[in-house]
A and B are shown apart, each in its own frame.
Chain A
Amino acid sequence: MILLFFFLLSFQSCQQAPIEITPAFYHWQTKFDLTSTEKKYLNELTVQKIYPKFFDVDWDFTQQEAVSKASLIVESVLPNSLEIVPTVFITNRTLVQLSEEQLPDLAQKIGKKLLGQIAAFQNISIREIQFDCDWSKSTQQKYFSLLKLLRKELQSIDIQLSATIRLHQIKYVAETGIPPVERGILMYYNMGKVQEKGTENSILDNQIGQQYLAKLKQYPLTLDLALPLFKWGVLFRDNKMIKLLNQLEEAVISDEKRFRKVDENHWQVIKSTYLDGVYLYENDEIRIEKVTLNELSAAADLLAQQLKKEDRSIVFYHLDSMVLKDYEGTALNQILSKFGTK
C-alpha cells in the first residue's frame, strides 16, 4: 500500500502542471455598451478579461500628422471581477510617415489619451495595455522605439505592455524583430491574401497558418492567443478588391433581384444597389468569408500542439452579438478546453 502511494506520488510528480487558460474577448466597437447577448456569452464562457479597443492611431494625409480615431465611448458598467486590457491599434502607415523625431510627441499623446480613457473604467482591474500594429521590417525600429517611449509615458501606473504578433512576425522573426514588451498575443487570423480573387478564405486557413508555425515554440515572448469569430464580404469591382463589408450576412444578399449566387461563397450584383452604405454596381462580385466552428476547432488542435506549454489568455475576436450568434457558447467552451483548463 505504501509502495503504491509512493508510486502514485512519483507518477504525479512527473506530470506537468495543467495549463491554465483565461478566456477573453476583444471588444472592437466604438461604443462600450454590452447587450444582453454579449453579457450572456461572458457568463457562459466565464470570461475574465476584455480587450477593448480604446482608439486607433492613423495618419492624416491632409494634416500630415498622426491622429486618433474611433475613440471608445463607455456606456456600460462592467462588474469589477473583470479585468480589462486597453488596446490601441496603430496603423503601419502612421509609422511609415512618422519621423523618429516625432515619436516622443506621439507617445505623449497616446499615453495621455490612454490614461484619460482608463479613468472611465473605475474600480476595474487594469494590469496590461496592448498595442496592435502590423509593423514591417522598415517600420520595426520606429515601432519598437515608440513602445519604449510609451512605457515611460505610462510609468505612473503599474502596467505590463503587450503587443500583437502576426504570423509572419513569428516566421520571419529575425527580420521583423521582437517588440520590447512583456507579452505577445499571436493573432491567428487574416492569414490569406484578401485582395486576391482566387483566395478562398483569407480570415482562417489552417493550411496557410500551419506554414508559419514551425518556429512558434522558439518565440521568446510569452504568447497569448487571439482566435477569429467574424465574417466579412470582400467586394471586387473590375477584378480589384475595393472594400471589406464587415459581418456581411448571406441573408442580406439573398434578394435575387439584386444578387445572383455564383457558388457557395461568391455572389454577383445583378442590379446596382446600396448595401449598408456602400453603392454596389452591376457586375460587382462579393466573396463571403467566415470562420466555421470546424475550422476553428482544427485551428485549436493545431495551435494547442504548437504553442509552448504555458498559461495564457485565449482571446476571441470579437465581442459583438451580431458576430456571436453564429457560435454556440458550448462550442466555444469546447474550443477553449483544447488549450487547458480555466
Chain B
Amino acid sequence: MKKYKNISLFGLSIFCFLATLLVPIKISKGCGPYYNDFYGYSFLNPNIIDLEAPKAPYFAGFEKVFRQIKPTEDIQQKDNLTEWQERFCDGPRLLDLQYVIYKSPLSEMRRLKTLLKQKNGKLTGQLASNTFARHLQQNKCEEAVDYLIFAKRCEPHVVKGSSWNTPQRDTVTMQFLIKDGLKAFKKTKSHYFRLRYVYQLIRLAHYKKDYRQALDLYDDLMPKTDNDPSLIEDWILGHKAGALMGLGRNVEASYLYSKIFHNTPSKRASAYRSFSIKTDEEWLACLKLCQSDTERATLYALRANDPLSHGVEEMRAIYEIDPKNEHLELLLVREIQKLEKDLLGLDFNKKKSSNRRYFKIPRKGAGKNLLDLLQLVLEISDENKAETPDLWHIAEGYLELLGGDYYAAKKTLTPLKGSMATVVLEEQLDALIMVASIDGLDEVNTEMEDLIVDYEKTELFTKYPDFDKFIRDKLTQLYKEKEYYGKAFLEEFKLNQLKYFPQLEIIDELIAICQKENRSKLENEMVLKKDGITTIESDLWDMKGTYFLGQMQLESALEAFRQMPRKDRDDYGLFNPFREEFIDCINCRVIDTAGYNKTVILEQILELEYKAKADMEKGAAYYYQIGNALYNMTYFGYEWEVADYFRSGTSWGGLKSGEAVFAHGNAPYGNHETVNCSLPLYYYDKAFRLTQNNELGARAAFMAAKCQQNLYFTEKGSNYSIFGNDIPNIPDEYRQYFKILKDYYSNTAFYEEVVEECLYFEKYAARL
C-alpha cells in the first residue's frame, strides 16, 4: 500500500510562501494587518520549529496565509491530479491529466469510451497527443473512463455558484444520477474508483440538500470500499460533515471538520471556519467522539487558533493529552510572539503611546499571560517530555527576559550555548542572549559602546533586522537617563535634524567627542564622516555659530565660527547680505563674486561698527549697512540662510503666536526662524538719528519702519493674518517710523519712489 502523502503541493506552496518570508532570513518585520503601524521588536525565528504546511497558519493566521496562497481550489486540483498520476504509475503528464479530468467535455469522454472498444481506433483532437488518454486507450481502462464520464455528468449539478447567484438545483436529475452512480459503484471492481463514486454520490445528495440521504450513502457505501489511503476520503468526510451540519448535528460535524483540519491541508481553512461548538456540553461531547490523543489535541489546537485566544489554556490541555503533539510548539511560538509585542523593550519603545492608543498593546493582562505561560514552560522544560526540549529551555529564558529579568534570562540562556540540537536553535539562542545583553545595559562606558559596535558587525544583526531599532531605542533611553543628550540625539535622529533648531548642549557634547583622543568604537561611528578620518566638528561649529546668529548674538557667533579651521569656512556657504533691498524677497538672492563666508560677514559687521564709532561723519552710512546685513539675514530677508538652515513658508501662519520656534514633522526640537528684527531696527535707528543726509535718513527710516512692522507681525496677539490681501491694521506704536518718514522726509526722492513701490506705505501715508 502506498503511503498517503500528507505533505502535498499545498504544503510546498505554504513552505515556499514562508520561505519568501525567511529568505534572506528577515526574522521579524511583522505580519498580519495589525503590524502595519505597530512599532515593536521581534527576535523569534519561525525556523526554530519545523515549518511544514499544517503549521504555517500559526505564524500568520489563516486569513493571511490563505490570502497569499489562493485559490484553494487550485491546490485541491493539484492534489487530486498528483494522486491520479501516482495511481497511473507516474506515466501521464500532469497537464494531460488536468485536461482529461477537468477540461475535456463529456462528448470527448464518450468518444474515448467508444474507441476503447475498437481495435484500431485513433485518438483525435486534443486527445491525440494526450499521454493520459493514450494510457487509458492502450490499457483499455474502461472503469476509469466510465467514472470520468459519470463525474462529468455530475459536474453541472454541483457547481458552487457565486455569492450573487445561487444556482437552482435540478434535484430530479440529481436523484437519477445517484441511482446511476449506485449501479456503477456495484459494477466497478477498482476500489480506487469505487471510492470516487462514493464521493460523487454523497456530494450530489449534499448539494440537493438531502442530508439524510448523504449520510445513508456514506454508511452504506464506505464499508464497501477497500482503497489505499486517498485524499478523497477527507473530501467525502467534508460532505458528510456538511450533511451533519445541515441536520443540526454540529458536534459530530465539528469532530469531522477537526479530522479534515488535521489531515488535509487543502481543506484546512474551510474546516477551521466550519468548526462550530456552541456550549461546554457540546465541547465535551466532541471530545468524546475523538478516538485518539492526537484527535483530542487537534480539537484544542483548533480552538486555540483564534487569533484572540489565550493559548496557554489549550497548550496545557494538549500537553496533558499528548506532550509531543506537533501543535504544542507552534502554539508556544505564537504565544511568545504575542508577548514580544506586549513587553519586549517596553521601557524604551519610542512609540509605546501610539501602540497603546491604536492597538491596545500591551494588553492589560499581558503580565498575567506571561506568568501563566512561564509556569507552563517551566513544567514542560523540567519534565523533558516535549518533542523539542531545547525549544522549551530557550522559551524559559526568553520569557524571563520579557518579564524584565535580564539577569535570570542570561543565567538561563548562556549555559545552553553549544548544546542545541540544531543549528537554527543554536542561532536563535545566540540572538536571544544578545537581546538580553542589550536589554540589560545600564551603564554608559567605552566597554559598552565597543560591545554595541561588535554586535552590529555580527551576522545575527543582519539576519534579525529589529536589532537595529532595538539597539538605537535602548541606547537613546540609556543616554538620556545618563544625560548624554548628544549621543542620545544621534541614536534617535540624524545630525541634519538638529539644524532646524540647534541645541547648544548637544552640540557642545558632540564637539567634545570629536576632540577626544580615545574615542570608543561607537563614538567613532557617531562623529566620523564617511572617509573614516574627518569628524563632524566643523559641521558642529557651523551649527553653533548659526544658532547664535539666529539669536542675533554676533560676538558669540563669530567666536564659534572662528573655532572652525579656515579651510573649512567656505564649505558652509558664501553670502552677501549687505545689499540694499527695500522690498522683501526671500528668493531674490543674487550670487555674485562678492560672496563671503559667515565668519567674514561677521568680521565685516564688527569692523563697520568700529568704523562707525570712529568716524562720526560716515557713521550713519556704516550703521545703515549693518542694519541691512542683519535685516537680510532674518526670516524676511533674501540672505536668511546665513542665520538659518531651513525656512518654512508655513511659519508665517504662526508668527503672531509670538514664538520663533514652530512645529515641524522632521524637527525634533521644532523649526527655529530668525524672526526678531530688533537688532536691525537698532542699527537703522542709529543711522537715522546720526545722518545729516536726508536721502539716507529716509532710507533708514523706511527700513526701520519695516522692522517695526515685522515686530508687530511677530508679537503675540497680533491681528495680522497671512490670508487675504487686506493691508494690516498696524497700531500707532508700531508705525512711528512710517510717521517720521512722512513728516520729515516727504520731500526726498526716496520718498517719492517708495510711495510708488510700496503699497502698504502708500496706504499708511494716506491715513496718517
A238 lies within 8 A of B164 (CB): no
Indicate whether A276 reaches chain B with its CB closer than 8 angstroms.
yes
CB distance from B465 to the nearest CB of A (A): 27
Contact string against A for B residues 270-309, beta-carbon threshold 8 Å, 1 for contact and 0 otherwise: 0000001111101100000000000000000001001011
Contacts of A282 in B (CB 8 A): 313
- Tell which of A68, A272, A277, A281 touches B163, judged by Cβ atoms closer than 8 Å: A68
Whether the pair B278, A274 counts as a contact (CB closer than 8 A) is: yes
| Set A63, A67, A272: member contacting B313, Cβ < 8 A | A272
Q: How far is the CB of A10 from chain B (nearest CB, A)?
A: 54
Residues on B with beta carbons closer than 8 Å to the beta carbon of A109? 164
A113 to B308, CA, bound (A): 35
Question: Does B135 have its Cβ within 8 Å of any Cβ on chain A?
Answer: no
Contact yes or no, B309 A113, CB < 8 A? no
**Nearest chain A CB to B111 CB, angstrom units:** 36
Q: Of residues 242 to 289 in A, which have CB atoms within 8 Å of B's CB atoms?
A: 242, 272-274, 276-277, 279, 281-283
Docked complex Cα distance between A63 and B279 (Å)? 32
Q: A240-B360, A274-B280 are in contact. Are A283 and B164 (CB under 8 A)?
A: no
Question: Which residue on chain A has the smallest CB distance to residue B70?
Answer: A62
Q: Is B313 a contact of A281 with CB atoms below 8 Å? A: yes
Residue A69 is within 8 A (CB to CB) of chain B in the complex = yes
Task: Report which of A62, A63, A112, A238 forms a contact with B364, defined as CB distance below 8 A.
Answer: A238
Q: A71 near B: Cβ within 8 Å?
A: yes
- A239 at interface, CB cutoff 8 A: yes
A143 to chain B, nearest CB (A): 19
**In the complex, residue of chain A having the shortest beta-carbon distance to the beta carbon of B311:** A281
Question: Smallest CB-CB separation from B276: which chain A residue?
Answer: A277
The reply to whether A277 and B360 contact each other, CB–CB distance below 8 Å, is no
Q: Would B67 and A62 count as touching, CB distance under 8 A?
A: yes
B365 touches A283 (CB 8 A): yes
A67-78 contact mask (Cβ, 8 Å, vs B): 1 or 0: 111010000000
Number of chain A interface residues as a range: 20 to 34
Question: Contact between B308 and A237 (Cβ–Cβ < 8 Å)?
Answer: yes
Are the CB atoms of B306 and A238 closer together than 8 Å? no
Q: Which residue of A lies closest to B362 (CB)?
A: A238
B669 / chain A contacts, CB cutoff of 8 Å:
none
**B299-333 toward A: CB 8 Å interface, digit per residue (1/0)?**
00001001011100100000000000000000000
* Interchain CA distance A163-B310 in the complex, whole Å: 41
- For the A-B complex, the count of residue pairs with Cβ-Cβ distances under 8 Å equals 60
Inter-chain contact B306/A279, CB cutoff 8 Å: yes
Cα A63 to Cα B269 with chains together (Å) = 14
Return A212 CB to nearest CB of chain B, in Å: 24
Complex CA–CA separation, A212 to B197 (angstroms) = 64
Residue of A nearest to B64 (CB): A61
- Say how far A32's CB is from chain B's closest CB, in angstroms: 16
Candidate in B283, B363, B364 with the most chain A CB atoms within 10 angstroms: B364
Write out the residue numbers on chain A whose beta carbons fall within 8 Å of the beta carbon of B303. Answer: 279
Which chain B residue has the least Cβ–Cβ distance from A276?
B278
- Verify B363–A238 contact, CB threshold 8 A: yes
Q: Considering only CB atoms, which chain B residue lies closest to A243 in the complex? A: B308
- Asked if B166 is an interface residue, CB under 8 A from chain A, the answer is yes
State the CA gap A42–B270 with chains docked (Å). Answer: 40
Q: When each residue 352-387 of chain B gets 1 if its CB lies under 8 Å from chain A and 0 otherwise, what string results? A: 000000001001111011000000000000000000
Write out the residue numbers on chain B whose beta carbons fall within 8 Å of the beta carbon of A68: 163-164
Residue of A nearest to B277 (CB): A274
Cβ of B67: which chain A residues have Cβ within 8 Å of it? Answer: 61-62
Question: What would 19 more interface pairs be, CB under 8 Å, given A62-B67, A237-B308, A274-B280?
Answer: A61-B67, A62-B70, A63-B71, A67-B163, A67-B164, A68-B163, A113-B165, A238-B360, A238-B365, A238-B369, A239-B364, A242-B308, A272-B313, A276-B279, A277-B277, A277-B278, A279-B303, A279-B306, A281-B310
